[in-house]
């Protein structure tokens, strides 16, 4: 079981099953929706998904016919995506989860659409908190 919530805490979710087909997606739609270099997405069975709290705060944006992004109307956090062509599954952004997950990403996808400043093989320093130059 996995638990998660949006940034403001209005919406809480529970996933009672595995997360499959996890990828880092670099397509322009995921970059725009997340405001980052890529989005890490995974699929779950719709039957395993529950909005524990805050369903009234959920709103939807349909970016293509039958394809919807469901997000918190207060803070804008993506909660899940649905696709009428695949009604038994939902796609979630793994960043919404508070629980550690056992599954791992399988690939970087749409790398030819990646942000020009993103270097997938960058050997950047890693810090436990903010970079040392930040005060």
CB 102 within 8 A of CB 52: no
- The mean pLDDT value of the chain amounts to 92
**CA nearest 95: which of 120, 72, 126?**
72
Q: Which domains does the chain have, with CATH numbers?
A: 2-113 (2.170.150.70)
69-104 pLDDT, tens digit each: 999 999 999 999 999 999 999 999 999 999 999 999
The per-type count for the chain, helices as H runs and strands as E runs, is: 1, 10
Percent of the chain topping pLDDT 70: 99
Distance (Å, whole) CA 123 – CA 98: 27
**CA nearest 92: which of 5, 9, 26, 27?**
5
**CA nearest 53: which of 11, 3, 16?**
11
Distance (Å, whole) CA 13 – CA 6: 9
pTM, rounded to two decimals: 0.87
Map residue 110 onto helix, strand or coil.
Answer: coil
Distance (Å, whole) CA 119 – CA 11: 34
99-126 pLDDT, tens digit each: 999 999 999 999 888 999 888 877 767 7
Distance (Å, whole) CA 42 – CA 62: 19
């Amino acid at each position: 079981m996995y638990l998660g919530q949006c940034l403001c805490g209005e919406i809480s979710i529970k996933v009672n099953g595995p997360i499959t087909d996890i990828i880092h997606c670099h397509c322009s739609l995921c970059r725009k929706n997340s405001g980052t270099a890529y989005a890490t997405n995974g699929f779950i069975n719709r039957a395993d998904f529950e909005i524990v709290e805050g369903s009234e705060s959920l709103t939807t944006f349909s970016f293509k016919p039958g394809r919807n992004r469901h997000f918190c109307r207060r803070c804008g956090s993506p909660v899940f995506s649905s696709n009428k062509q695949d009604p038994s599954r939902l796609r979630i952004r793994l960043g919404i989860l508070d629980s550690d997950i056992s599954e791992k990403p399988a690939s970087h996808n749409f790398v030819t659409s990646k942000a020009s400043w993103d270097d997938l093989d960058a050997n950047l320093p890693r810090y436990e908190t903010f970079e040392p130059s930040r005060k």
